[in-house]
Structure 1
Amino acid sequence: MLDFITAFTVILPAIFFFFLFRKTEKSKNGKSTELLPPGPKKLPVIGNLHQMSHPVSRCLRDLSNQHGPLMHLKLGEASAVVVSSPEITKQIMKDLDPSFAGRARTLAADIMWYNRSDVAFCPYGDYWRQMRKLCINDFLSPKMVRLFESIRRDESNRLVDSLRESSGSSVNLTEKLFSMTSDITCRAAFGAVSEDSETLIELVVESLKLAAGFEMVDLFPSSRIVAALSWRKVRRLRTMRRKLDEIMDGIIKRHRRNGAGGGRNSEFGGDDLVDVFLRAKEEEQLQYPIDDNNIKAVLYDIFTAGTDSIAITLDWIMVELLRHPRVMAKAQAEVRQAMKENTKLSEVVYNLKYLKLVIKEILRIHPPAPFIPRTCDKKTVINGYTIPVGTIILVNNWAMQRDPSFWKDPEKFEPERFENQDVDFIGGDFEYIPFGAGRRMCPGMVYGLANMELALAQLLYNFDWKLPEGEKAEDMDMTETIGLAPARKLNLFVVATPYN
């Protein structure tokens, strides 16, 4: 978003606005009498783009404070409605869910997710239900997540061993967390750690930045001028897609060579996720037949969510714990006390109440998806205002989870707030929906939490933590990156001292 604003307001000459205005301005005859939600005044052509700033979630919160919890914006050619109240969110994600279960089209999603034939960016409908069901039944169900416990244990132990080797030295914990979550997901979904995991991580980070929907080409899809000016971005995406094809084709070829089924690809003697999709394709019993591109789209989905979101959340946890030594000490004391009674950390983790409170608080203050994008697929009236078909819906989850109307001292990192607050993230409390809600709620919630809990318990039990010499926790740069899942802009470097 920041790159777009800079280009649009500083770099592009005024003549561009003139020609774009002539190209995109619609006739004012026959104006609709439908009442749109209130919003800030709009300029010709660019609408409200001049009012956007980074971070987008905070910017939208500030605008909503002026114009209301149901706010209309014009973002170039796109009509958008920002929702920042739990009551309206409940209407959209529960009461009227099918009408608001779509996803906006973006250039990055079209290219990197194979014409949106995945699950996350796919249009709502029967094909989406088919692919989502396959993912849940054969990878993301509680039964399968329990089966992956040995993988979580192996990879978190590898992380601990790696940190012990660099004892006393400054290490890039962010990179190590991404490596761990990548290896867990590759072993669970693809049957083995990918030799190209570093390239995959780079592709994920870059494509999620571009898939947020705030690129010029996404906001002015009918403009040939914008399309021409975006050629570098298109070329970069196509180069990224070729790299992704090479990696995913290699994974699929390995499974075909070994033969799907019979436990030849999975660590558990059964089929892994690639086997499941290959068998479904060959048996031709699906309502919507699939090809290799469909399979690659879903595999990239799984890798993206299973690597990026989890690693980013763990990184935010460690940042906040370093900034709040009291919470760090309390969480460490709980884990270490529990380990005196049971030497198996994977068994202990399920009963670590305070650790779970820490994760819940991180998901509140640093949600994996600060705003939840939907589209309106059926003209709907909410609170007397008309939401036209095709409108982009931005549920400002970040704003609701920091709203002082629902949270005491919302800017404070305080896990204890959940001890006496009967609020959970399973999709029923709409002031707290870090995983979304309704039909398009994140299907990987159980998988993600299991990976986070064990990894965090390992880090807290095995090490004492501090920042490198000369750095102070209160001076840490908390600036976020741009994208669907904002990470901290700077990698986290720490000194890990083994705990005896």
Structure 2
Amino acid sequence: MALPQGFFHNLMDSITPWDSLAPLFLAFCGIFAWICFTKRRSNLPPGPPGLPFLGNLLSLDPELHSYFTSLSQTYGPIFSLRLGNKSCIIVSSPSISRQVLKDHDTTFANRDVPVAGRIATYGGNDIVWTPYGPEWRMLRKVCVLKMLSNTTLDSVYQLRRNEIRKAVGYLYSRVGSPVDIGEQMFLTILNVITNMMWGGTLEGDQRAAVGAEFREVVAQMTELLGKPNLSDFFSGLAWFDLQGVEKQMRSLARRFDKIFEKMIKLRLEKTNKDGSEQSKDFLQFLLKLKDEEDSKPPLTMTHIKALLMVLFSLATLIF
């Protein structure tokens, strides 16, 4: 059957141009996003209204504790915020906090691992980010009941004592002169941690060189861990790494890993040479524990590195 003359010309004329459809399409997308956002909020505790896609990101105050206190006076002791595509629940009541942290702690134990934290801890293989389960209980047992037990801490007492004496001696020598207490506390804590980790492995100039490198890397890593990252708020943007947080953290993590590899190699060589089983530092203790076969799931070398990493990060983060 032959088509009427001018059929295609008339058909093209009947199609509305895109520039006239664009405003309608954008309006439809906006309405759809608002409906989805409102529907999600309907299943959450009350909270301040937010924008589609962004949620409450633009309304956050840098003084979060004051900001959350003001919101609790309006929305009650438990309220919600929408940060990008992540829902956050804020609890400000002691009674509700007890239910979350104690009565129902296993329900709320798992955490959403940020990009920087996942890279820094070898994929979240540490006691902070590992999901609650057999592996987390094994790491908790290693940290609380063994590595941080009174017996183990007593074995590194002399290492801690020496660093504290050095810090007090430095402050005494600076009497009458200005001193950056925060900086000195950071250096003291870092020196104490490094000595407790492998104080029996390094000596003299080696220990000073490793400590200096750690000070540099830890400072940069701590900054990245506390930096707001769009990849954490919008999972669809994580692949693009718009702020470069992932790239920078991978570079720092590689430097940390090289140090860990060096320390582990030196500790194994020294242990094999001395033939001593007495724990002189945490690294020797962890390596000895890894070789025990009664741990299920087993403690791996990745776990050891991740534990060392998180102990450094947490110990120095407040400074």
Fold match (TM-score > 0.5): yes
SS in 2 for 1:71: strand
Structure 1 residue 106: Cα displacement: 0.4
Alignment of 1:299-338 (within 5 A): 299-309=308-318, 312=319
8 Å CA contact 1:111–1:241 kept in 2: the answer is yes
Pick one of 198, 205, 216 that aligns with 2:230: 216
d(CA) in 2 for partners of 1:263, 1:170: 48
Residues 1:228 and 2:236 are matched in the alignment: no
Query: If the length of structure 2 is used for normalisation, what is the TM-score?
Result: 0.78
Q: Does 1:255 align with 2:264?
A: no
Amino acid at match of 2:45: P
User: CA 1:36 to 1:187, structure 2 compared with 1: closer, same or farther past 3 Å?
Assistant: same
* Partner secondary structure for residue 107 of structure 2: helix
Deviation at 1:190, TM superposition (A): 1.9
Residue identity opposite 1:199 in structure 2:
E
The correspondence for 1:139, drawn from 137, 143, 147, is 147
Letter in 2 for 1:129: R
CA distance in 1, matches of 2:84, 2:41: 21
- Residue of structure 1 in register with 2:302 after alignment: 293
**1:28–1:160: structure 2 CA closer, same or farther, 3 Å change rule?**
closer
Amino acid at match of 2:309: Y
Is contact 1:260-1:279 (8 Å) kept? no
What secondary structure is seen at the aligned counterpart in 2 of 1:196?
helix
1:210 corresponds to which letter in structure 2? Answer: L
- Aligned partner of 2:47 in structure 1 is 39
- Computed over aligned residues only, the root mean square deviation of the Cα atoms, in angstroms, reads 3.0
1:27 and 1:40 map into 2 onto residues whose CA distance is: 16
Cα shift at 1:206: 3.4
Which has a greater percent of strand?
1
Alignment of 1:142-161 (within 5 A): 142-161=150-169
Tell me, in whole angstroms, the C-alpha distance in 1 between the residues paired with 2:168 and 2:125.
38
CA distance in 2 between counterparts of 1:248 and 1:80 reads: 35
Identity of aligned residues (%): 28
Q: Structure 1 pair 83/30, CA: closer, same or farther in 2 (3 Å)? A: closer
Conserved 8 A contact 1:118-1:301:
yes
Larger Rg: 2
CA distance in structure 1 between the aligned counterparts of 2:282 and 2:163, rounded to whole angstroms? 19
Q: Please give the residue correspondences for 1:275-294 in structure 2 after superposition, counting only pairs within 5 Å.
A: 275-294=284-303
Report the structure, 1 or 2, having the larger helix content: 2
2:137 to 122, 129, 145: 129
Structure 2: gaps of 5 or more residues: 1-25
CA gap of 1:61–1:263, structure 2 versus 1, over 3 A, is farther
Q: Which amino acid aligns with 1:282?
A: D
Mapped contact 1:263–1:270 kept (Cα < 8 A):
no
Cα distance in 2 for partners of 1:160, 1:44 equals: 54
Question: Measured at CA, do residues 262 and 214 of structure 1 come closer, stay the same or move farther in structure 2, by a change above 3 Å?
Answer: same
Whole-angstrom CA distance in 1 between matches of 2:34 and 2:293: 47
Q: How far apart, in 2, do the equivalents of 1:300 and 1:272 lie? A: 15
Correspondences of 1:399-414 after superposition (within 5 Å) = none
The AA in structure 2 aligned to 1:114 is Y
Deviations 1:440-483 (A, max 9, x none): xxxxxxxxxxxxxxxxxxxxxxxxxxxxxxxxxxxxxxxxxxxx
Q: Say yes or no: does 1:270 pair with 2:267.
A: no
Contact 2:155 2:281 in 1 (8 A): no
Inter-CA distance 84–270: structure 2 relative to 1 (3 Å threshold): same
Q: Given that residues 34 and 52 in structure 2 are in contact (C-alpha distance below 8 angstroms), is that contact kept between their aligned partners in structure 1?
A: no
1:115/1:172 Cα in 2 relative to 1: closer, same or farther (>3 Å)? same
> Quick check: 2:279–2:285 contact (8 Å CA) kept in 1?
no
Q: Larger relative CO (CA 8 A, sep 6+): 1 or 2?
A: 1
Residue 114 to residue 49, structure 1, CA distance change in 2 (3 Å): same
Deviation per CA, 1:282-325: give whole Å up to 9, x if none. 3444212343322111011222233444xx3xxxxxxxxxxxxx
The answer for the alignment partner of 2:196 in structure 1 is 188
- TM-score for both structures, normalised by structure 1: 0.52
Matched, 1:166 2:178: no
Equivalent residues of 1:42, 1:48 under 8 A apart: yes
How far apart, in 1, do the equivalents of 2:275 and 2:131 lie? 34
Rate the CA distance shift 1:286–1:295 in 2: closer, same or farther, 3 A.
Answer: same
State the aligned residue count: 285
CA distances 1:53-86 after superposition (whole Å, capped 9, x unpaired): 2122222222222211101110000011000110
> Whole-Å Cα distance in 2 between the matches of residues 127 and 120 of structure 1?
12
SS state of the match for residue 41, structure 1?
coil
Confirm or deny that 1:63 pairs with 2:71: yes
Q: What residue number does 1:178 align with?
A: 186
Q: 1:271, CA displacement in angstroms? A: 5.1
Q: 8 Å contact 1:260–1:275 — kept in the other structure?
A: no
Matched, 1:89 2:102: no
- Quote the Cα distance in structure 2 between the aligned partners of 1:284 and 1:142: 24
Q: Secondary structure at the match of 2:45?
A: coil
Q: For 1:180 and 1:33, how far apart are their aligned partners in 2?
A: 47
Partner of 2:251: 239
Corresponding residue of 2:22: none
Contact 1:36-1:72 at 8 Å conserved across structures: yes
* 1:116 and 2:124 correspond: yes
Are the counterparts in 2 of residues 260 and 271 from structure 1 also a CA contact under 8 Å? no
